[in-house]
Amino acid sequence: MTVRVAGVKLGLGGWIKCKTTVGYGTGLGWGFCARGKGELNIGKFCAIGENVRVITSNHVMIRLALSYRLQIKIVGRSFDGPKKGVIIGHDVWIGDQVIILPGVSIGNGAIIGAGSVLTKSVEPYSVVVGNPARMIRKRFSEATAEIVEDLAWWDWPEEKMLKLKHLFANNPQAINWQDPNL
């Protein structure tokens, strides 16, 4: 079973336990999990794999006991760490079993390799992999990345996307961006 809400797809077994905004056209794979006291903001047209974990806050390390349950039992409440939140830009591809930790921001057009652990923010149009994740390359040249960013195609109506489908069918680095028909 898959849940669809206003153009968003949440796969089977997924659950969201924090304040979350998800952009149109984004798909969250089976077993997606988001939790914490911070906010999660996900852009438009993202492809998020299966069993991805997003954590928007963490335990406080300066207390005698780290267990929320014990804190509630003994003190009457739990102590949360800073609510750092997580931001995922537009057109981001996140592979299966990625873990995203509090305070991370992922730029537009980034690709996160399967099994990566993100402890730091990711630049737009970067490809990152590993534990901890590190950038292995950029998807586009800086000039092409700037053009794509300025286009902000994710905000276009679908009719415009269809009219300019050649932009989506070709390598952006090979397109003549000076063409007056754009």
Domain count, the chain: 2
Q: How many residues can be counted in the chain?
A: 182
Give the β-pairing of 3-5 and 53-55.
unpaired
Same domain as 68, residue 153: no
Same domain as 134, residue 156: no
Same domain as 29, residue 71: yes
Same domain as 146, residue 59: no
Query: Residue 125 sits in which domain range?
Result: 3-139
CATH code (residue 20): 2.160.10.10
Same domain as 176, residue 95: no
Same domain as 34, residue 97: yes
166 as an active site residue: the answer is no
Same domain as 101, residue 13: yes
> How would you label 114-139 residue by residue, b for 16+ Cβ within 10 Å and e otherwise?
ebbebeeebebbbbbbeeebeeeebb
Reduced to 3 states (helix: H, G, I; strand: E, B; else coil), residue 130 is strand
Which of 2-11, 119-128, 173-182 is predicted with the least confidence, judged by mean pLDDT? 2-11
Same domain as 117, residue 53: yes
Q: What is the pLDDT of residue 67?
A: 74
Report pLDDT digits (tens) over 30-64: 999 999 989 999 999 999 999 999 999 887 777 76
Report pLDDT digits (tens) over 139-180: 999 999 999 999 999 999 999 999 988 888 888 888 887 776
Same domain as 162, residue 135: no
Same domain as 135, residue 67: yes
Report pLDDT digits (tens) over 73-102: 877 776 667 678 999 999 999 999 999 999
Same domain as 152, residue 127: no
Q: What is the pLDDT of residue 139?
A: 94
Q: What is the DSSP letter of 3?
A: E
- Is residue 1 very low, low, confident or very high in pLDDT (cuts 50, 70, 90)? very low
More confident call, 137 vs 177? 137
State the catalytic residue, choosing from 9, 35, 53, 59. Answer: 59
Same domain as 19, residue 98: yes
